[in-house]
Amino acid sequence: MKILVINAGSSSVKFTLYESEGEHMLAKGLIERINSANTSLKYANHRGEKLEKDISANSYEAAISAACLALVDKSMGVINNLFEIEGIGHRVVHGGPDVYGSAIITTEIKQTIMDCFALAPLHNPPNYEGIEACAHLFANVPMVAVFDTAFHQTMPPAAYTYALPTEIAAKNQIRRYGFHGTSHHYVALAAAQTLGRALDEVRLITAHLGNGCSITAVNKGRVEDTSMGMTPLEGLVMGTRCGDIDPAIVLMLRNAGYSLSDVDKILNKSSGLLGLAGIGSNDMRDILQAIAAGNNAAQMALDVFVHRLVKYVGAYAAIMNGFDALVFTAGIGENVPVLRARVCEKLAFMGVKLDRALNKSNALRISQEGTAPAVLVVPTNEELMIVRETARLLE
């Protein structure tokens, strides 16, 4: 079954076309700066042919139309016509408190997605626009929503409840939801497979370390806890987000004269690696380069990042009575041996033993043979997880 995956962001659309049988990626692309003077399309097919050009697209529908033109293009395309597409899977960030899994898109599901606009104001509205655009362009093709929050819905109440007055929390839908669920689910499944065991037999700690960072305790297939909370601001140190801070800092900043929008910007856009390293970049490659050049602030940024990460691993080991594998994924998790080495050094007391050479080469299993817990590096693939979920629901 040919399945189109759509990830519609605030001004961009990522698209991927898969043949679900055998899980072959046929083509993928990105349309950026929709509704601006310089909208661009990047596209690559499985034959390695690439295309990059300026296009005009003043709506999500126009952007997805441009994607479709690339997919059916005579020379660069991978399908003869759009009727070959039998299902569309949409990444949706927030499903709210009642969505426990992926769902075929119906009027009710669309309403659920809209009901979560306030919970994910930057993500759910464009996700919804992507769905509406596809509904117009592909009139009779069934569509599936795959929610970032769904995997975390198995979290127990003790983990998702903030210690706030119950009434105030309920009235304002305040609880922890967790994000990156599709990625954590994908790498957890892959990790269990690597260990040669079923997901419901193993205790995993999955660390998704990209621009956004989150870590999840996956206890026998169920999420025991995850670091992102009501919003993706909580938890680990990230590229530009602060992660955990004393909430009173917000009050203090307000007292010091910062407006609500200033504080929002400080915590979400100017903090994390960017704010700590002070080199004008939140890119881990730049931070590592600055460290190599002797920059102390960049070193501190990495130190704080590692410290927080180790703290979470320890906490999650405690709530699961130990763990069978620690899994690193996403841009930083997959590509920074020095960071993994520093985390694992701290975990030596729990039996973690890294193989230096395997770690350096970003191998799948980087712990020494025969040691436990295992340490794995699993490249994430959220698109493939969406394909699997779409195929499962449509078949």
In the list 154, 161, 268, 335, the residue contacting ligand ADP (rule: CB under 6 A) is 335
Catalytic residue list contains 148 = yes
DSSP string, 26-77: EEEEEEESTTSTT-EEEEEETTS-EEEEE---SSHHHHHHHHHHHHH-TTT-
Beta strand residue intervals within 73-158, DSSP E: 85-92, 103-104, 143-147
Q: How far is the CB of 161 from ligand ADP (least distance, A)?
A: 27
Confirm or reject binding of residue 235 to ligand ADP (CB under 6 A). no
Q: How far is the CB of 172 from ligand ADP (least distance, A)?
A: 28
Q: Write each residue from 201 to 230 as x if it is in contact with ligand ADP (CB under 6 A), else as -, in one continuous string.
A: ---------xxx------------------
Confirm or reject binding of residue 283 to ligand ADP (CB under 6 A). yes
Near ligand ADP by CB under 6 A, which window of 4-12, 48-56, 98-106, 331-339? 331-339
Q: How far is the CB of 280 from ligand ADP (least distance, A)?
A: 14
Catalytic residue among 148, 225, 246, 324: 148
Confirm or reject binding of residue 285 to ligand ADP (CB under 6 A). yes
Confirm or reject binding of residue 239 to ligand ADP (CB under 6 A). yes
Near ligand ADP by CB under 6 A, which window of 65-73, 247-255, 256-264, 280-288? 280-288
Q: What is the DSSP letter of 365?
A: B
Confirm or reject binding of residue 244 to ligand ADP (CB under 6 A). no
The set of residues, in sequence order, having a beta carbon less than 8 Å from that of 308 and lying 6+ positions away, is: 236, 237, 243, 244
Q: Which residue number, 254 or 285, has a Cβ lying nearer to ligand ADP?
A: 285
Amino acid letter, 376? L
Rg (CA), the chain: 21
Q: Which residue number, 124 or 183, has a Cβ lying nearer to ligand ADP?
A: 183
Near ligand ADP by CB under 6 A, which window of 75-83, 150-158, 159-167, 325-333? 325-333
Residues found near ligand ADP in the complex (CB under 6 A): 210-212, 239, 283-285, 330-332, 335-336
Active site residues: 148
